[in-house]
Amino acid sequence: MTQSTCFHCGNNCDKTVINFAHKTFCCNGCKTVYEFFSSHDLSDYYDLQSAPGAIPKEIEGKYDYLDNPDIAEKLIEFSDQNTQIITLYIPHIHCSSCIWILENLHKLKPGISSSQVNFPKKTVRITLNSEKTTLKEVVILMNSIGYEPYISLDDYTSTPKNNNHQLLYKLGIAGFAFGNVMFLSFPEYFEVSEYWLEKYKHLFRWLMFAFSLPVVFYAAQEYFISAYKGLRSKLLNIDIPIALGILVLFIRSSVEIIFDLGTGFFDSLTGLVFFLLVGKFFQQKTYSFLSFERDYKSYFPIAVTRVSKKNDKEESIQVYHIKKGDRLLIRNEELIPVDGILIEGDAQIDYSFVTGESDLVAKQSGDKLFAGGKQLNGAILIEALKSVEQSYLTQLWSNDVFSKNKTSSFTNLTDTISKYFTIIILCIAFIATSYWLIADSSKAMNVFTAVLIIACPCALALARPFALGNMLRIFGKNRFYLKNADVIEQLSKVNTLIFDKTGTITSNKKNKIEYHGKPLSKKEEALLKSTLRASNHPLSRSLYQILEDHDILTLDEYQEYLGKGIEARSAQDSIKIGSQNFIKNSNGTNALNTTVHVNANDQYKGHYVFYNQYRKGVKELFETLSKNYRLSILSGDNEGEKRHLEQLLPKNTNLLFNQKPDDKLEYIKSLQNHDANVVMIGDGLNDAGALAQSDVGIAVSENVNVFSPACDAILDASVFQNINHYLTISKRTMGIIKSSFILSFFYNSIGLYFAVTGQLSPVIAAILMPLSSISVVIYVTVLTNILSKKVSIKTNERSY
């Protein structure tokens, strides 16, 4: 049989192939979606991109809460009589087919009047007619075609954010004024004393004055505010000389035109503000499809089904309304929102959101369940022990670290330099002025203002945003997404790296399996494999993958005991596979690791030990890193892997096990008190505290579109082994910025020469200001691009 791929979702049809309309499908779900689309004349979906779909999930009863008007009201953006508008976040949006099908939703459901996709944000904005359809119906429709919207507690609590366009407005105004002022001041650059020019120059000058007003009072506002804040907290930041420069430029120019002394420096003034804002705009690269601010609310469901104790009636309630003692029904694939006790049902909990560990945990009735786990085996009934905010996991967020703003406490390189810069400039200004007061007092004021104008550190202020902004984009292309440009500078200062174990240095999917015990005969292995084939348990699946191919035996008997094991019989041979208790073998084994025991024909054979599979290149990465950094591993797991890790990692690596979320946070705090700059690299929600406390928190993610906890940077797991390069490049980028400062100081000294000797004319200022800014921008952009070539070469080398 040839391997065929599903026409709808592109997965391999390994188990069953469904042939329909000359096409192959991996499951009935995919086939149904195809049928549905083609019957609505929407099969163009498959022409735009091959296999664009996703397998629709079963959702029986999952969206009942959308009928609850209180909850629906919070989600709906706009509601007016019959028209409702809602924006839904759909993680699956990934190609042009997705845009196409989602914008044609109105063909599938008459009640939908229009829908518009925002691809970078992965959202769809749907306008619906509430008389013809309901929100719940729309969500169920989306689900049935494989585009399941993600609705979380975050949508409930957060108020819709207004997009911040301030910078765009300011940039527009500054650019508009800059162009027009340039145009108006052009005739006077040549100082031709023509009759008409003489006659109209006053009009021209007053027009320039008018254009510069919104620039100074609106576009440059931030610089004044920041300078004022800096002065008040006794910090000489870079905005102080800038604000001083703008102010002096404006006052001197106004005075010049009022008393008809000259044309003023309005061109330099508007140009300066425009360039500075361009720098700010460039630095502000955001990844709108990623969020760096998530807390547990983004993971948690918005509502839960409460079962009344008296009459077994089910109702949807908001999770914040859960009270101690409430009975809650958790359906398949639903998240447990509160700590509780399992009342009935087979619980197979996936705690990978919390710990990064994807192995299922089986629980029996009466066991305690922690919030954050996902139920994967049918519906269960639990009794809440606490409210949502008091649960073990959510309590972590009451720690102060989460309310602290990290960036405010950090002084960047430009601000450090500007401290000296401002003092030196002021000294030069005063010395030059006092000299001219003695030599030629009429020029003294002229020189004083000229020094402050020319010293305005435009080039200095532009070097950092352009270098970091460019690096930010380059990192993004190499699948390392940073929250903002400051993170690069913080990365360059780091001396300690802390890794989480599960899900960070180990990969989620692959397991390394070793067999201990008596060797199995061919026949037994064939039976083992055939038995495993029938089981859907994740351990069975991974074990099935590693066993060699055998003929498939027909099983005469097959029985799976949930959370225990499997029993099967074929002809005379019987086999039992499962946990130690199930096999009833008391041989001393390492109870810390995950094991699967095998018993054939009532004889104990041996067991398979599952080890974590470490990511590719971990050993090399740690070896290179250990030369320059202090390394630690913080794991929430037991010490089962300790021996393994000690062999794998360099000797000076600190290994700490059984770390609770709070312990991780405290450990980082104690390191920071000893002058360490810490990078925390983690993945699950249990690392959230540590990620927030560290100087730079990096979340490792197998798929960057799914959720990762609040952090400063998100690293795609496939480039995990390149962390070392990213750190080196951050350091070198800071080196480039430092060298560009020398260039801008050079320009400043030329300008200062003109200023101090009293020769600064508007033309010189108008040439020098853009020249210095543009050459510094080009300098840093070219150098960072050269640097980036080295990264991408290294990334490619590693991937082979």
Partner 1 sequence: MGVIYVLLTISIVVAIIFFVAFIFSIRNGQYDDVYTPSVRMLFEDELIKENNEQSSATPKTKQS
627 sits near partner 1 (criterion: CB under 8 A):
no
Chain centre distance of CA 777: 28
d(C-alpha 541, C-alpha 534), whole Å: 9
Nearer to partner 1 by Cβ, of 87 and 740: the residue is 87
CA–CA separation, 577 vs 575, rounded Å?
7
The stretch near partner 1 (CB under 8 A) out of 111-119, 333-341, 414-422, 601-609 is 111-119
Nearer to partner 1, 196 or 259 (CB): 196
Tokens (6 digits) for 414: 């430009």
38 binds partner 1 (CB under 8 A): yes
Q: Which stretch binds partner 1 (CB under 8 A): 137-145, 196-204, 242-250, 542-550?
A: 196-204
Q: Which of 281, 699, 679, 285 is nearest to 471 (CA)?
A: 285
Which residues sit opposite 560 in a β-bridge?
566
**In this chain, which of 19, 28, 43, 759 binds partner 1, going by CB under 8 A?**
43
* CA-based nearest residue to 329, from 305, 353, 359: 305
**Interface stretch with partner 1, choices 92-100, 275-283, 631-639, 644-652 (CB under 8 A):** 92-100
Residue 554 burial by Cβ neighbours in a 10 Å radius (0-12, 13-18, 19+): exposed
Site for partner 1 contains 39 (CB under 8 A): yes
Phi, psi torsion values for 15, nearest 5 degrees: -90, -60
Q: How far is the CB of 258 from partner 1 (least distance, A)?
A: 21
Binding to partner 1 in span 204-223, by CB under 8 A: 207
Distance of closest approach, residue 197 Cβ to partner 1, in angstroms: 11
Question: Which CB atom, from 174 or from 354, has the smaller least distance to partner 1?
Answer: 174
Going 537 to 540 to 545 to 546, the CA torsion angle's sign is positive
- Output DSSP code: residue 5: B
Kindly state whether residue 186 participates in binding partner 1, applying the rule CB under 8 A: no
- Residues between 118 and 137 with contacts to partner 1, criterion CB under 8 A: 118-121
Q: Per rule CB under 8 A, is residue 96 in the interface with partner 1?
A: yes
Give the phi and the psi of residue 444 in degrees, each rounded to 5.
-55, -50
Please identify, among the stretches 74-82, 110-118, 412-420, 527-535, the one whose residues bind partner 1 according to the rule CB under 8 A: 110-118
Q: Are 462 and 279 in contact (CB under 8 A)?
A: yes
- 200 contributes a contact to partner 1 by CB under 8 A: yes
Q: For 339-378, b where at least 16 C-beta lie within 10 A, e where not — what string? A: bbebeebbbbbbbbbbbbbbbbbebeeeeebbbbbbbebe
The 3 state secondary structure assigned to 127-196 is: EEECCCCCHHHHHHHHHHCCCCCCCCHHHHHCCCCCCCCHHHHHHHHHHHHHHHHHHHHHHHHCCCCCHH
Nearest to 384 by CA among 339, 444, 319: 339
194 lines the binding site for partner 1 (CB under 8 A)? no
Rounded to a whole number of angstroms, the minimum distance from the CB of residue 46 to partner 1 is 8
| 199 lines the binding site for partner 1 (CB under 8 A) | yes
Closest by Cα among 683, 688, 718 to 352: 683
Nearer to partner 1, 199 or 310 (CB): 199
Of 35-43, 441-449, 521-529, 679-687, which part binds partner 1 (CB under 8 A)? 35-43
100 forms part of the interface with partner 1 (CB under 8 A):
yes
Element (H, E) at 417: helix 413-439
Q: How many residues bind partner 1 (CB under 8 A)?
A: 36
Q: Closest approach of Cβ 144 to partner 1, in Å? A: 18
Of 41, 312, 551, 557, the one binding partner 1 by CB under 8 A: 41
Restricting to residues 155-174, name those near partner 1 by CB under 8 A.
163, 165, 168-169, 172-173
Question: How many C-beta neighbours within 10 Å does residue 307 have?
Answer: 18
**Residue type, position 224, single letter:** F
Q: How far is the CB of 180 from partner 1 (least distance, A)?
A: 6
Candidates 375, 746, 403, 29; CA nearest to 8 is 29
By C-beta, is 184 or 711 nearer to partner 1?
Answer: 184
Backbone angles phi, psi at 6, to 5 degrees: -70, 135
Alpha helices in 548-687 (DSSP H): 580-583, 618-628, 642-648, 661-673
Based on CB atoms, which residue is closest to partner 1, 21 or 534? 21
Q: In whole angstroms, how close is the CB of 267 to partner 1 at the nearest point? A: 16
Q: Considering beta carbons, is residue 289 or 754 the nearer one to partner 1?
A: 289
Please select the residue that binds partner 1; options are 12, 19, 28, 47, rule is CB under 8 A.
47
By CB under 8 A, residue 21 contacts partner 1? yes
Using the minimum distance from each CB to partner 1, give the nearer residue, 96 or 601.
96
Is residue 110 part of the contact set for partner 1 (CB under 8 A)? no
Asked if 771 interacts with partner 1 (CB under 8 A), we say no
Select the residue interacting with partner 1 from 12, 19, 28, 44 (CB under 8 A): 44
For residues 203 and 424, which CB has a smaller minimum distance to partner 1 in the complex?
A: 203
Select from 91, 12, 79, 8 the least CA-distant residue to 42. Answer: 8
Element (H, E) at 548: none
Smallest gap from residue 26 Cβ to partner 1 (A)? 18
State in angstroms the smallest separation of the CB of 200 from partner 1: 6
Shortest Å, Cβ 129 to partner 1: 21
**Residue 117 found at the interface with partner 1 (CB under 8 A):** yes
Which parts of 406-435 interact with partner 1 (CB under 8 A)? none
Q: Where are the beta strands (DSSP E) in 562-629?
A: 565-570, 573-578, 594-600, 603-614
179 binds partner 1 (CB under 8 A): yes
24 touches partner 1 by CB under 8 A: no
Which helix (H) or strand (E) segment is 46 a member of? helix 45-48
Q: Among residues 34 and 392, whose Cβ is nearest to partner 1? A: 34
38 or 574: whose CB is closer to partner 1?
Answer: 38
**Helix or strand (DSSP H, E) at 60:** none
Q: Contact between 286 and partner 1 (CB under 8 A)?
A: no
Please report, as ranges, the residues that interact with partner 1 according to CB under 8 A.
21-22, 34, 38-39, 41, 43-44, 47-48, 50, 96, 99-100, 103, 116-121, 163, 165, 168-169, 172-173, 176, 179-180, 183, 196, 199-200, 203, 207
